[in-house]
Chain A
């Protein structure tokens, strides 16, 4: 017979509050800043990286590829605010990105607005759209939410493809009318400015996501991801917090769309497809959902591979393989889809998780004095 009084469970100290000593941890907080500086001065380099890029680093082609990678790094980080940090599986994120791209394109090209007011209007419009559609979609949860967001995004794709009112240019897309734009953003020689703009966008997104997830709101969002009922028990309304996250994430995507439109000089209907949302999901999962740098790395790496694998697929090394291998390998999506599936099974934490797994290994290595 046991008649003992029950003790309270010992409080668990979170791992992050017990900093392991070491040089690495003193350097680590500064790494993002170092990376930012490296990326900022990168256009001054004429280095050739054969195999990685076609031309020297400061050539317009390379800068544009890098800038696209930066935009998608930011886009993935914004999407992770939904998926990794709040646990909402949205299949319609392409809609808000496309709203940014087409919004600014239409306002500049069709309505002749100056860029800054067009951009401001577009971002405001993207935020409103996300808030309205989010308010409806969030009446459902889980898988139903995924399907509903997918359906909403499909409307966007149809609107663009069918070219209602002759605004979007339909299947052909809508090239951006550059005549009214600031001269510094136009022309091949000015790609570097667009590159810096993309870098600024990425920095903004990382900053916003970081601030939000560190705030009380961010802790509620993390709580929603782990167990929604607990948040309900605390007397907080999950719906409102989710809507805030959804709107913020949509706004960031629309902003990215504006930059992307300037970068590639127009809009084409493929950015409205559900495939883009699926790619975002792949980026986040490959990078590591819910981590600070995982989605950014995932997004950049994905876009880089997506571009480079096309070149890789038509390279002589692949062509020399038997056709059973060379044909699938020439499809970037085949390679990325397969890598993605393997990542889901074997690296659930993505690239960021990989670093943690290698941590113990690194500690085993002899330290240099």
Chain B
């Protein structure tokens, strides 16, 4: 079974202020389903996503290749990558707190393409109702919906989603997972996630990082079957596997 991956990361190394955060990370993201990036805190999951997007801080140093299809993404400005179909839902949501919900969405509109407000409001009717509310006054879950919603306003070839369930109440976690499941039916997703219940529900493939390197890759099913391996790779701090 050889399918052309949507994203290929080869030998990616990132050094920030003298610290080697990533050391030769290589993996691919399948063109369908959810590829989950796993690992203990501080192994470089967020750094990987940001390096793919060209968001490494200026004093940092990035080496290696990142390709979307056949095109190299290295040394391209972030805004161009995003326009080419790389949607980013950052850690901690990063909605613009001082702007209204509508303004947050309007910001994501692009010249030359019709924004898919139907799609967004169909998934998140709440955002339509709260259009004039300042994003900073939304609950954590609503902010997450907004962060996902503004990415879905445009068509994407790949979504990079960083810890969408972090700090959310269990009920809201389930909602977010449902939404991501629906989204992933249409667009491939590279997901950073710590909540194993969510991983179990969404993941088709898994990449496990440890100390800045890839420690394991393969179908998510295989990883989750081996409880001992999961424990050793993801740490005891991870959420217990229910269901």
**A interface residues (Cβ-Cβ under 8 A, vs B):** 1-4, 6, 8-9, 226-227, 230
Quick check: A227 and B214 within 8 Å, CB to CB?
no
B183 contacts partner chain A, Cβ-Cβ < 8 Å: no
Quick check: A227 and B17 within 8 Å, CB to CB?
yes
Nearest chain A CB to B25's CB is how many angstroms away?
11
Quick check: B17 and A6 within 8 Å, CB to CB?
no
A226 to B15, CA, bound (A): 13
Interface-central residue, A1, A6, A9, by most chain B CB under 10 Å: A6
A342 to B18, CA, bound (A): 28
Number of A-B contacts (CB under 8 A): 23
Nearest chain A CB to B27's CB is how many angstroms away?
10
A3 to B214, CA, bound (A): 9
B17 / chain A contacts, CB cutoff of 8 Å: 226-227, 230
Quick check: A1 and B213 within 8 Å, CB to CB?
no
Nearest chain B CB to A224's CB is how many angstroms away?
12
A124 to B210, CA, bound (A): 54
A230 / chain B contacts, CB cutoff of 8 Å: 17
Quick check: B18 and A6 within 8 Å, CB to CB?
no
A230 to B217, CA, bound (A): 32
A3 / chain B contacts, CB cutoff of 8 Å: 215-216
A15 to B215, CA, bound (A): 32
Residue from B20, B23, B211, B216 within 8 A of A1 (CB atoms): B216
Q: List 15 A-B contacts (CB under 8 A).
A: A1-B216, A1-B217, A1-B218, A2-B214, A2-B215, A6-B210, A6-B211, A6-B213, A6-B215, A8-B211, A9-B23, A9-B212, A226-B18, A227-B17, A230-B17
A2 to B18, CA, bound (A): 27
A214 to B18, CA, bound (A): 20
B217 / chain A contacts, CB cutoff of 8 Å: 1-2
Nearest chain A CB to B210's CB is how many angstroms away?
5
A3 to B226, CA, bound (A): 13
B210 / chain A contacts, CB cutoff of 8 Å: 6
Nearest chain B CB to A221's CB is how many angstroms away?
15
